[in-house]
Structure 1
Amino acid sequence: MSGFAPPVVATAGSADPAAPLVVLLHGRGSHEQEILTLAGHLPAHLSYAAVRAPIAEGTGFAWFANRGIGRPRAESLRETMDWFRGWLDGVAPPGRPVTLVGFSGGAAFAGGLLLDDPKRYAGAAILYGTLPFDAGVPTTAARLAGVPVFVAQGEHDTAIPRELLDRTWTYLLGESGASTVARRDPVGHGIASAAVPALAAWLPERLA
């Protein structure tokens, strides 16, 4: 058992407990209310849960301890993923589709969750971040075979190491076997305005 308290969760969209669930995962040093604003631009018939990460980080929170930007410590990532699954399995039992949408550090966390148990999720959006390579989760060939993934990156992103962004792009569009929709936008480390309607169109297709 982790020493973390139960998560703080902010919700939006449908209140139907059977509605498909989209879990929003904020970036490092941020919080659940900030990422929840994204829900206002996404399909209203879906249910949204923005979860606060469990580790205090500056004025916000983080999903894992790291050994460098975009490089989670394996033991920390395992602990927080197990904590998250304890919450998720309580609110979304088998049969309720769940899609992960993570930004920056939340993208790495979403990627970790997906790679750890690909069959648990209807898909994942990896927004302006990296997968957690060399952090205790499998990144083998065909690990995500057929899994829907939406990946968006900034062409001028200098917050996430370019090597990790490129490795994520190459893996998701090739060796992983995922069914990937990918875009690169002329922005830095932030969600491009044009990426939001693309994400909004992708989500219902995954959660029909």
Structure 2
Amino acid sequence: MGRPPDGGPDRRGRVSAAFGEPVATYRGSTDPDAPLVVLLHGRGSDEQQIAALADHLPQQLAYAAVRAPIAEGGGYAWFANRGIGRPVASSLAETTAWFRAWLDAEHAGRDVLLVGFSGGAAFAGGLLLAEPARWAGAAILLGTLPFDAGVPTGPGRLSGVPVLVAQGDADTVIPRELLDRTWTYLHDESGATLTAHRDPGGHGISAGTLAVLTAWLTATAREH
């Protein structure tokens, strides 16, 4: 676990799937007992771009930046969608199964925190809502939960689960309706142990968001 034995940054999962073998880039701690933070990039991006975020996060944690399985726009995506922030339910179910198979093969029994940005936030939210007890926590950064996409979003679904939500008031990429619905659900219905951050920024991880994420990861990992 952690980085590959040769110390190199990349490792391909051993799980066969219709999407091919997962590709992950590792950063941070090589201690196999350290909590693992899985970084999930946005639509059209890749694992290398979001792996750079780990350099600014607590180094006592281990980080795995995973490449999404669907090629799109010179990068990769976590699901087919019906519009921005609106996953096709069958596609989300397929990529969720693919991701969980990789995680079970590579990191079984390990405490895992999810950090998703934009489209990766919707995917992280899907994983979280499908199996709330499986995760040590999840950060939903500049994105929406996957409503109406085949995962439960009922009251109390995330009871006691540490969740961070961060949004920018000037974000014009994710539909405001979905951002507001995510904010309201997490605050008023989900039951999550919630940390929430808003700033005036747009669709990007601001210095303020980074500081809140750093503090949240440190505090949440300490509890596990």
Normalization by structure 2: what TM-score? 0.91
In the alignment, which residue of structure 1 is the partner of 2:32?
A: 17
Deviations 1:82-102 (A, max 9, x none): 0000011122222x2100000
Does structure 1 conserve the Cα–Cα contact (< 8 Å) formed by 2:41 and 2:50?
yes
In the alignment, which residue of structure 1 is the partner of 2:192?
A: 178
Q: Helix, strand or coil for the counterpart of 1:160? A: coil
Select 1:60's aligned residue among 75, 78, 93.
Answer: 75
Select 1:92's aligned residue among 93, 104, 107.
Answer: 107
Q: Which runs of 5+ in 2 are unaligned?
A: 1-15
| 2-structure distance, mates of 1:197, 1:187 | 14
In the alignment, which residue of structure 2 is the partner of 1:141?
A: 155
Q: Offset of 1:2 from its aligned partner?
A: 4.2
Deviations 1:161-200 (A, max 9, x none): 0000000000011100001100111111111111101111
Q: Which runs of 5+ in 1 are unaligned?
A: none
- Higher-RCO chain (CA-CA 8 Å, sequence separation at least 6): 1
Kindly indicate whether residue 182 of structure 2 is the aligned counterpart of residue 168 of structure 1.
yes
Kindly indicate whether residue 145 of structure 2 is the aligned counterpart of residue 131 of structure 1.
yes
Identical amino acids, percent of aligned pairs: 68
In the alignment, which residue of structure 2 is the partner of 1:150?
A: 164
Deviations 1:8-65 (A, max 9, x none): 1000001122211000000000000100111011100100000000000011000000
Structure 1 residue runs of 4+, over 3 Å off? none
Superposition RMSD on alpha carbons, in Å?
Answer: 0.9
Select 1:105's aligned residue among 119, 132, 140.
Answer: 119
| Counterpart AA for 2:140 | I
| Counterpart AA for 1:54 | P
Select 1:71's aligned residue among 62, 75, 86.
Answer: 86
Q: Helix, strand or coil for the counterpart of 2:182? A: helix
Name which of structure 1's ranges 40-49 and 2-11 shifts more when overlaid on structure 2: 2-11
Alignment coverage as a number of residue pairs: 207
| 2-structure distance, mates of 1:7, 1:179 | 31
| Counterpart AA for 1:112 | G
In the alignment, which residue of structure 2 is the partner of 1:6?
A: 21
Select 1:159's aligned residue among 173, 176, 191.
Answer: 173
